[in-house]
Amino acid sequence: MAAAETDSEVPCARCSDFLHFSAKDTAAKWLEVDNLLKEVYQHLACFVPKIYCLGPNLNPQNEDLLAQLLLQGPLEWYLCGEEPTVGLAKLEQSNQPSQLCGHVFKVGEPTYSCRDCAADPTCVLCMQCFLGSVHKEHRYRMTTSGGGGFCDCGDTEAWKKGPYCQKHEPNISDSSQKDPLANLSEQMITRTRNVFSIILKYAVHMLTWEKEDELPEGLEPPARGDTYYCMLFNDEVHTYEQVIYTLQKAVNCTQKEAVSFATTVDRDGRKSVRFGDFQFCEQAKSVIVRNTSRQTKPLRVQVMHSSVVAHQCFALKALNWLGQIIKSSDALRRILCLVGLQQGPNGENSLVDTLMLCDSKMWKGARNVYHQLFMSSLLMDPKYKKLFAIQFAKNYERLQSDYVKDDHDREFSITDLSVQMFTVPSLARMLITEENLMTTIIQTFVDHLRHRDIQGRFQFERYTAQQAFKFRRVQSLIGDLKYVLISRPTEWSDQLREKFLEGFEAFLELLKCMQGMDPVVRQVGQHIEMEPEWEAAFTLQMKLTHIISMMQEWCANDEKVLIEAYKKCLSALTHCHSGFTDGEQPITLSMCGHSVDTIRYCVSQEKVSIHLPVSRLLAGLHALLSKTEVAYRFPELLPLSELSPPMLIEHPLRCLVLCAQVHAGMWRRNGFSLVNQIYYYHNVKCRVEMFDKDLVMLQAGASMMDPNHFLMIVLSRFELYHIFSSADCRKRYGRENINKDVVQQNNTLIEEMLHLVIMVVGERYIAGVGQVESYDEIKREIIHQLCIRPMAHSELVKALPENENKETGMERVIDHVALFKKPGVTGRGLYKLRPECAKMFNLYFNHYSRADQSKAEEAQRKIKRQNGEDSVLPPPVPPHFCPLFGSLVNILQCDVLLGILGAVLQWAMEPSGGHWSESMLQRVLHLLGMGLVEEQQHLTGSTEDGISFNFTLKISRPGEAPGNTPSILALLETLQNAPHLEVHKDMIRWILKTVANIKTTRECTASASPADSSGHSQEETVRDKDKAERKRKAEMARLRREKIMAQMSEMQRHFINENKDLFQQSLEELDATTSTSLEHSPSTCDSTLVCVGPRRWRASASDRRQVVTCILCQEEQEIRVDGKAMVLAAFVQRSTVMSKNRKRPTYNPDKYDPLFMHPDLSFGTHTGSCGHIMHSHCWQRYFEAVQAKEQRRQQRLRVHTSYDVENGEFLCPLCECLSNTVIPLLPLTKTTCSTEQPDQRQWVNITSQQIKALHAARKKTNAEGVDDADSAEDCHPPDGFRLDHTPKNPYSGTIKEMLTTFGTATYKVGLKVHPNEQDARVPIMCWGSCAYTIQSIERLLVDEEKPLFGSLPCRQNDCLSSLTRFGSACWTASSQAVVHGHFIRLLAALVPDSQVENTPCILDIDMFHMLVSLVLSYPALHCLDSSGMSEDAAQLHLLHLVTIAHIVQILLTSIPEEVRMEQESGGAEREEEESVCLLYNTLRRHLSSGLHEVTSGWHLWHCVKTGILPYLRAAALFFHYLNGAPAPPELHAVGVGEWEALCGYLCLPSNPLQLYYNNLELLEPLLQGWCSHPGVLQALQSSTALIRFPRESNHLIELPEDYSALINQASSFTCPKSGGDKSRAPTLCLVCGAMLCSQSYCCQTELEGDDVGACTAHTFTCGAGVGIFLRVRESQVLFLAGKTKGCFYAPPYLDDYGETDQGLRRGNPLHLCQERYRKIQKLWRQHSITEEIGHAQEANQTLVGIDWQHL
């Protein structure tokens, strides 16, 4: 770093050098010269190296300043011809502001698209434009930008409606057609052109300059030194860690510097890591290269001369300057475009071309700068955008090839600009016609996939990693193609037709490479060894799906195009199948008197492929011929006669048979890759251009064939022909072989085959096949989804295919078919099917999986039964076929089908011997039903059809085959009574009834009206009904049994959740009974209920008796001081929930003195419990077992658990609640009511004397051996005070042990120290936890508006009670002297004690903590007293004393009344107001000047009353649990009477100030003493940090109603550590509102020896280890606890459908749901975050593996 020293001096020296420089003069000189280029270059050559890159540490401000003065200054002078500020201002005035917004998006900024009006989903608005647009009232979508791209506001082609926001609305005097140059003088234009061309040329030259040590001609520096940079370049191969590690080694820097280098390299694409002479830099380079070349190619490093780097720096600067200067003037912008696109005199590339073509060679930073310039110049000028688009298209192939090899992501590539041009419909159209863009894109794509098999098909199988990378890259071309096609032309020119068809042909070439790719052959014998690659092919298919659909839509748009495309597609298909029959033997099939020729081909033996895009495209076009009626209007133009139906259906049929065979289990040995392929074939993402089209193709083929022939070929391909062709096929079971597997297989195949026939005849919901619109298609799709169960909006969206605009069309339909049900505080909104839509339900809906089908069937039958209807599910009435497909209905009544149906029915006569299946029969019945429905439809329609389609007649005829077989109808009549067909009876009955109906209709056909088609009639026999009912009951019983079994196993696993409620219920009942009995017990000394003091309520012996059951051994146990210890599972945690000061610095845990809690409650220790009780020994045994198990587990597999055993954590054995210790249960202490007790003054005196005696005794022991004069000072202990008394510890051994266990745990967790049961702070932490927990629960009750008593859940009640009683006993586990010491110091803060130093002032003490600690430590003193003074009296005196201190505290911190309003209250409070004024004035007197004047007694009294209330409520809870006194009924309700009831319960006068006036003698000096503490005045004067009372409850921060406001806020948030960079994962702390840069290297810090992310680090200061965050980009709440625990939680933002959008994937507008936010807040306030995380992690083990600490 030697150079650094001189660094600061250099620029200064130069400054003086440059002092005489004049920009004006230089510009003037330039005006004179002939060769301006040479002159400017000389100028740059001279100055640039003097300004830039003079040392290792750059000084950007200085550089900028100098560059402005020396470089840009003269350029601007020259350009303007006058003072630049004046000239530029003039330009700005004549500027026509662009109507395009053009705002360039930052990473993470919200973007909006209108689903109603956007031309395509890439059209977006910035937030400002959106808010000023009409679209905010439309259906909009919100996303976060990935950076790049700009706002399309003002682009009329981007929006169908409302293209302008208010701001960009064009002026009425629209002069945008005018040439912007018209306003400029000729000279000005020339000068601008000169400057722009020189500077742009210079910049292009420098940025594309590749030599490291030389400069272009004319730029050589006057002097050059041996100064070099070692420049490190970014690549996407090496990880952050690798780079950081290497840099530390190579250039000897600290880790921090290395991180900073790496961050800059990643951001800017390059960074100099060393500066010095050539040798010095070369050395670093070789180390870096050596270190990174082992596995991959090395990091790119260059040693560059400083002047080269300097010129490159200025080149970037210059481009920025150009960008700035054209902003103010559309004229200058146009000149820049002109200069940029101008070709050289000999047709050389323009500067813009040069930049584009060098794109992949430049570093990231340079690319970003020039891309930005393109966006603000070329793309903002309508005229030049077009010219640029042409150049872009011309270079397209080259740019894409460069990009494929480039190792930067697409967002940094010039190719990414395609979206800006291709999505503009007029440009896209122009590029197609003039530059043949469509063909170019497709051919470039095909060219990049060179790896083919011998038939020329793509072969992804043997892709290397590099080829796979390339394959990923070229996929972006498909994206470009999509942009080009996304808006369909409304008018066609001949040229467009020609070029589109040319593109279409190229596209067919692409599809031909896919037709038949990845073929599979059934594996027999052995399982395949390696799963074949299948994903690449499907990726391609998925990417192309929209393109294929769009191609069809373009074709549908123009008759000529459709006809030509159809021809081309057909010939492509014919070409593919030219070898269709080659080598395959022809065979003849015959059945039922029909015969057909086909080939011998078995799917199960030969190659078969699932990829048939050419066939499918033809199927789509065929349907379009029908839809557009082109087929009927121009049959002569179509090659219909050339169609060979068997050829058309062959491959789609094979594919469908493959699926059937996979279902039948015949392809098991082919592994998962095939299963996956079949899955995607049917999946919503692919099916539109796969499965659906195969079906259409079968329909198309079948419609042109004799149905008997079609079916025979189908049977043959299904390899079922032999079963149905034989004459006695109806006796299958008698004859077929006995191999059960084969029979089973064939059964499944028959089922699948029948299903296929059902679909071929029944699926008519594709426009062109049936007479439907797309509306009907979507409607049916949604109905069938909702037939399965009610669904959320997003579930439905997922189940529906989206078009290229990401629209499903669902909104149009949904309200017609469904009812919306809003969500509660959890869950989501659901759509439920309208009952009237259920009649459209088709059990054999083609998009159901088998699982969907059975779920839907069950659901639909259930609904029917509930409505008291017949549960039969007959086929719905289908729409009519379009004429082209009309002949398909004949399949239903053809001989072959009837033969098949008859055979199956015949088989079904016998109870199944495995030769038929229920599903098979069900399908047969469904087909019969379809036939009848069809016939009914024909009957009600035209009479002609009614005659030609006579299904009833066909099924009534007996079979023809040799024997006289019964007719189908006869078979059905027999089957109706077969006992083994109970399940199908309702359907058979329906069929027979319908047949009867049709017959009657036909009989009276001529005259009568059509019959009722419903098929329902009332004549149902009682017997049938009974049977159905019995069956239903049996089914119900079965379901119930299953449910119970499921529940039982659930219970075994979880035991709890089912039981917890029961368990708690019984406790609640128990509680209720005991408390009522207590209230009626006469054992109180007084009639009123008092919880503290000598007059307090006392429990009788029977009240005190408490019996509990151990959850582990189930034994009952009475709680006794000398009995076995019972414990409560508990969780102790640090808390800042009530903190009023999150900025308090952390203390040193080893030295910290927690005796006095500060009133800011900056952090405390909270104890919670699930309320489950165990024997201490049962718990210990359980915990040891957990420990052992954990050790074994850790050895075996290094997985985390949701709990940390080493830290004492375990899960409650009953409810799996996270716990880390146990609280021992203790009985109420026995006390007696003694009569004579000292008053307050006496008591204080006695206690002071006792303390003195203790002081003396301690000194004596300390001074033992040493003769100290002071020790002689005599001190008489008061009567009955036995200093040497050692009280007997009443507790049993196990209780003692548990007292220590819990005390130590509280100490360990609360202070974050190692456990040490001897530490003096153990009891303090216990008292503190007791006080803090009570306080937090008191707050919670207020916030929830619940009464103080009676509303707490059992678990909290039990927890507080055991915690308080433990508190009163925990002193026995510590050394007495230590506890004495604590008591003495505590009391000294209120009652002066000359022997205690450094007592805090009363403004620095939380009085409730004070009260609890005093009361709980007092027994240690009291046990030495034998004078008969009661502990109860002492408690009361302590309460009074602390209460007075608190009143003083409140008065001192009260806020002056703002508006003087004399609030006259009734006489009732007069007295209180006077007394409070009096006290306040006393305080003012003591403090002389420190207190403001207050005259309103009402105000002061109000302050006291509201200020002290939380304290009184907490005190009431405390004494309630300590002494067991039941609470008065007034405190079981919210509202009036609380104050009096509290005062009474706490034995306080209803005007607590009386405490003061009654004891003036004692209290007045104390008061004076408190006020004279120097801390008081100090605190009052620095009123900022003053805590006032009542302390308000903390809230989570306010969130905006509209989520996009948060996104916007987060998008402007920059990482605080890496200088202005956008944060990738901005995360909001919901506790304090801090925005953090989460999940990122830049903001990792070290915390207790671990690297942690910003969130984890933040939790330690903000939430004592617990944090609640909102991940803004993800719309996800994050809970963190400690370093290892965390979970995600549903955000409080919902869309209009009542759903959250975690990950912001759907982009529906989100709004704050207050209820849900309150629920999160409640979790936080009741300290349940950690518990929630525990439950989440137990439920979802993957959460355990996440590295929460790095978030």
**1212 belongs to the binding site for Zn ion (CB under 5 A):** yes
Give the closest residue to 298 by CA, choosing from 309, 313, 288, 312.
Answer: 288
Query: Which residue in 27, 66, 70, 114 binds Zn ion (CB under 5 A)?
Result: 114
Closest distance to Zn ion from the beta carbon of 1347 (Å): 26
Q: How far is the CB of 233 from Zn ion (least distance, A)?
A: 23
x/- track of binding to Zn ion for residues 1115-1154 (CB under 5 A):
----------------------------------------
Does position 138 interact with Zn ion (CB under 5 A)? The reply is yes
Residues 937-996 within binding reach of Zn ion (CB under 5 A): none
Q: Does 1113 bind Zn ion (CB under 5 A)?
A: yes
Give phi and psi for 1178, each to the nearest 5: -65, -40
Omega before 1590 cis (within 30°)? yes
Only one of the segments 145-153, 718-726, 801-809, 1438-1446 lies at the binding site for Zn ion (rule: CB under 5 A); that segment is 145-153
CB of 1174 to Zn ion, least distance (A): 6
Instruction: With beta carbons less than 8 A apart as the criterion, state whether 700 and 583 touch.
Output: no
Q: Which is nearer to Zn ion, 1408 or 1717 (CB)?
A: 1717
Torsion sign, CA atoms 1679, 1684, 1685, 1688? positive
Judged by CB under 5 A, the stretch of 608-616, 849-857, 1550-1558, 1635-1643 that binds Zn ion is 1635-1643
Separation of alpha carbons 378 and 386, rounded Å: 9
Q: How far apart are CA 1678 and CA 1332, in angstroms?
A: 26
Q: Could you please report the per-residue DSSP string of 1122-1150?
A: TS--EEEEEEEEEE-TT-S-TTPPPP-TT
Asked if residues 785 and 796 have their Cβ atoms less than 8 Å apart, the reply is yes
* Complex with Zn ion: residue 372 or 436, whichever CB lies closer: 372
- Output 1256 or 1596, the one with its CB closest to Zn ion: 1596
Q: Which stretch binds Zn ion (CB under 5 A): 84-92, 121-129, 305-313, 802-810?
A: 121-129
Shortest separation between residue 140's beta carbon and Zn ion, angstroms: 7
Which phi and psi angles does 1488 have, rounded to 5°? 45, -75
Among 1378, 1407, 1662, 1670, binds Zn ion (CB under 5 A): 1662
Residue 428 CB, shortest distance to Zn ion, in Å, is 22
Type of residue found at 1566:
L
Longest dimension (CA), the chain: 136
Nearer to Zn ion, 358 or 1729 (CB): 1729
Question: Applying CB under 5 A, does 117 fall inside the site for Zn ion?
Answer: yes
Among positions 767, 833, 1226, 1637, the unique one binding Zn ion when judged by CB under 5 A: 1637
Angle at 116 between CA 111 and CA 122, to 5 degrees: 40
- Residue 27's Cβ-count burial label (10 Å; 0-12, 13-18, 19+) is buried
Q: How far is the CB of 1334 from Zn ion (least distance, A)?
A: 21
User: Of 695-703, 832-840, 861-869, 1655-1663, which part binds Zn ion (CB under 5 A)?
Assistant: 1655-1663
Q: Does 126 engage in binding with Zn ion (CB under 5 A)? A: yes
Q: Which of 53, 165, 603, 1218 binds Zn ion (CB under 5 A)?
A: 165
Coil/strand/helix, residue 304 = strand
Of 332, 800, 1215, 1369, which one interacts with Zn ion (CB under 5 A)?
1215
Looking at residue 1691, its amino acid is: P
- Given the complex with Zn ion, which of 1313 and 1723 has the nearer CB atom? 1723
- Residue 135 found at the interface with Zn ion (CB under 5 A): yes
- The piece of 550-558, 625-633, 1176-1184, 1387-1395 that touches Zn ion (CB under 5 A) is 1176-1184
Residues 6+ apart with CB under 8 A from 419: 122, 149, 479, 483
Taking the C-alpha atoms of residue 1108 and residue 1225, their distance in angstroms, rounded to an integer, is 10
Please identify, among the stretches 289-297, 1430-1438, 1472-1480, 1625-1633, the one whose residues bind Zn ion according to the rule CB under 5 A.
1625-1633
Give least dist CB 1670 to Zn ion, A. 11
Q: Is 1610 in the site for Zn ion (CB under 5 A)?
A: no
**Sign of the alpha-carbon torsion through 368, 374, 379, 381:** positive
Q: Decide whether 256 or 1196 has the Cβ nearer to Zn ion.
A: 256
CA distance 410 to 413: 5
- Rounded to whole angstroms, the Cα distance separating 863 from 838 reads 10
Residues 6+ apart with CB under 8 A from 1415: 1368, 1435, 1438, 1439, 1518, 1522
Q: Is 129 in the site for Zn ion (CB under 5 A)?
A: yes
Query: Binding to Zn ion by residue 704, rule CB under 5 A?
Result: no
Nearer to Zn ion, 137 or 858 (CB): 137
206, 619, 968, 1170: which one binds Zn ion (CB under 5 A): 1170
Assign 608 to helix, strand or coil: strand
Instruction: Give buried/exposed letters for 239-251 (b at 16+ CB in 10 A, else e).
Output: eeebbbbbbbebb
270-276 and 107-114: which strand pairing?
Answer: unpaired
- Among 153, 288, 1516, 1720, the residue binding Zn ion under the rule CB under 5 A is 153
Told to check if 1628 binds Zn ion by CB under 5 A, we report: no
Segment near Zn ion (CB under 5 A), from 338-346, 728-736, 746-754, 1112-1120? 1112-1120
Neighbours of 1029 (CB within 10 A): 11
Q: Does 1299 bind Zn ion (CB under 5 A)?
A: no
Kindly determine how many residues on this chain lie close enough to bind Zn ion according to the rule CB under 5 A.
Answer: 36
Which residue in 1404, 841, 943, 931 sits closest to 1161, CA to CA? 1404
Cα 937 to Cα 886: distance, rounded to the nearest angstrom: 14
If binding is defined by CB under 5 A, does position 379 make contact with Zn ion?
Answer: no
Q: Which of 311, 470, 1172, 1499 binds Zn ion (CB under 5 A)?
A: 1172
**Judged by CB under 5 A, does residue 1217 bind Zn ion?**
yes
Minimum Å gap between C-beta 1635 and Zn ion is: 10
Q: Report the SS3 class of residue 1005.
A: coil
Tell me the C-alpha distance between 579 and 1006, whole Å.
55
Q: Are 470 and 476 in contact (CB under 8 A)?
A: no
What residues contact 786, with CB distance under 8 A and at least 6 apart?
A: 796, 817, 818, 831, 832, 833, 837
Selected binder of Zn ion within 123, 151, 612, 1542 (CB under 5 A): 151
Q: Copy the structure tokens of residue 1341.
A: 């009750």
Question: Which residue, 24 or 1624, has its beta carbon nearer to Zn ion?
Answer: 1624
Whether the Cβ atoms of residue 1065 and residue 1223 lie closer than 8 Å to each other: no
- Among positions 334-363, residues that touch Zn ion (CB under 5 A) are none
Residue 1110 as a binder of Zn ion (CB under 5 A): the answer is yes
110: phi then psi, degrees, rounded to nearest 5:
-75, 140
* Residue 101 interacts with Zn ion (CB under 5 A): yes or no: yes
Segment interacting with Zn ion (CB under 5 A) among 176-184, 645-653, 1321-1329, 1614-1622: 1614-1622
Least Å from the CB of residue 379 to Zn ion:
14
- The verdict on 1631 binding Zn ion (CB under 5 A) reads yes
Structure tokens at 104: 């360039």
The window from 36-44, 134-142, 594-602, 708-716 that contacts Zn ion (CB under 5 A) reads 134-142
Query: CB count, 10 Å around CB of 1458?
Result: 7
Query: Of 843 and 1662, which has the nearer Cβ to Zn ion?
Result: 1662
- Closer to Zn ion at the Cβ: 165 or 884? 165
Which helix H or strand E contains 1662, and what residues bound it?
Answer: helix 1654-1662
Helix (H) or strand (E) holding 586: strand 586-591
Q: Which is nearer to Zn ion, 1214 or 1571 (CB)?
A: 1214
Site residues for Zn ion per CB under 5 A: 101, 103, 114, 116-117, 126, 129, 135, 138, 151, 153, 165, 167-168, 1110, 1112-1113, 1170, 1172, 1175, 1178, 1212, 1214-1215, 1217, 1615, 1617, 1629, 1631-1632, 1634, 1637, 1640, 1642-1643, 1662
